[in-house]
Structure 1
Amino acid sequence: MSYMGERVHIRFIRANDAEALLDLMQNNRALFEQVVPKRNESFYTLEQQEKIIDQWTKSRDEDKRYAFGIFLNETNQLIGEVSFFEVRRGALQNCILGYCLDQKHNGKGYMTEAIDLILNFAFKEAGLHRVEAGVLPSNQGSIRVLEKAGFKKEGLAKKLLEINGKREDHLMFAILDEDFFSAK
């Protein structure tokens, strides 16, 4: 199952994507480690990426996490990952959005396009009502991506995540299904 945009498409990450996912993580390690919780060295091995993909598949089957690769339409190269996780059903019907993009492709609008595709999936197919995202206040590129995708800033979560040994504040954003559809 693939969701096509003008320049990129997203599809569920599969076992045969493990090497490309490992390359993405290794090539962007210094950048990603500035914005995500600390990862063990084993994270940067093919074996661990295979285990992660297997866990993502199980989590999708359990309706807990949906992990998509971001691929260039022209070359089918994996250039990023976009997912929603901590899916909560019942009265909430919400989740948290996470994403990363190969730094060589930053500033080209690919992530905005990928987020639009995953929001279509979240609201039309997964039946969610609300998607949330947190971002470091210093990460202006990510803030712009969320705003372009229609997310609204809701506030500041003090000391939300530990990154590089320090608890970091995060700006919290969200988008509702009705706001997403009314912008179309």
Structure 2
Amino acid sequence: MIINGVEMRGLAVDDAAGLADVLTRNRAYLAPYEPSRPEAFYTEAGQRARIEGMLDERDGGRLVPYVLVEAAGGAVVGAMNLGSIAYGPLCSGGVGYWVDREWHGKGLATAALEEVCRAARDELGLHRIEAQTLVDNTASMRVLAKAGFTEIGLAPRYLHINGAWRDHRLFQRVLHDDPPTA
């Protein structure tokens, strides 16, 4: 799928070098919103190992990892993951995403999130998607609001981000109210 000149597609091992490059360039920009990472995370080998783990989770039905790549040129400009997928009475998943600083504010994250919600509903049959943001991450909260998510609560000291346990706002988007099929 092409969104604003960017292709959103499934993550592949061949994306390791592109991810290492964009994550290294955006390291300081993303640091306030990310867990502390070892140096190896920012290398091609580190990303290759990470991708292989993510693809194992995908093959187990627990994760759908996407990469955002410029249609002209092929540079990686972001990622979006639908993880923690559960079926049965919960029928839910959680979404996480980031975009390159150069693409911030251009509607890419919102459009990609809309596509993930569509796929979660139509292809996976999920009932709802959840997301969390740091309490001061207004840009991410705007993305979620534009994509139809509503705030459902506050989780004190929810995730260890940038060296400390941080409070997060919790959001969800209900995709349908049909009974679970699996």
TM over 0.5: yes
What's the secondary structure of 2:153's corresponding residue? strand
What's the secondary structure of 1:33's corresponding residue? helix
Contact 1:28 1:102 in 2 (8 A): yes
What's the secondary structure of 2:95's corresponding residue? strand
Root-mean-square deviation (Å): 1.5
C-alpha displacement of 1:90: 1.4
Q: Which amino acid aligns with 1:157?
A: A
| Residue of structure 1 in register with 2:128 after alignment | 130
When the two structures are superposed, what TM-score results if normalisation uses the length of structure 2?
0.92
2:26 is the alignment partner of 1:46:
no
Q: Which amino acid aligns with 1:108?
A: K
C-alpha displacement of 1:72: 3.0
Which residue, out of 63, 66, 77, partners 1:65?
A: 63
C-alpha displacement of 1:74: 4.0
Q: Which amino acid aligns with 1:28?
A: N
Pairing 1:66-81 to 2, within 5 Å after superposition: 66-81=64-79
Matched residues, number: 177
Q: Which amino acid aligns with 1:148?
A: K
Q: Distance in 1 between matches of 2:107 and 2:40?
A: 32
Pairing 1:54-133 to 2, within 5 Å after superposition: 54-133=52-131
C-alpha displacement of 1:9: 2.8
When the two structures are superposed, what TM-score results if normalisation uses the length of structure 1?
0.91
| Residue of structure 1 in register with 2:180 after alignment | none
| Residue of structure 2 in register with 1:11 after alignment | 9
Q: Which amino acid aligns with 2:96?
A: G
Report sequence identity in percent: 33
Query: Which of structure 1's runs of 4+ aligned residues deviate more than 4 A?
Result: none
- Return 5+ residue gaps in structure 1 as ranges: 180-184
Q: Distance in 1 between matches of 2:103 and 2:4?
A: 15
Contact 2:153 2:169 in 1 (8 A): yes
Q: Distance in 2 between matches of 1:29 and 1:81?
A: 14
Q: Distance in 2 between matches of 1:73 and 1:172?
A: 33
Deviations 1:27-78 (A, max 9, x none): 1111222112111111111111001111111111101111100123344432
Contact 1:8 1:113 in 2 (8 A): no
Q: Distance in 1 between matches of 2:123 and 2:43?
A: 33
Contact 1:161 1:167 in 2 (8 A): yes
Contact 1:69 1:80 in 2 (8 A): yes
Q: Which amino acid aligns with 1:20?
A: G
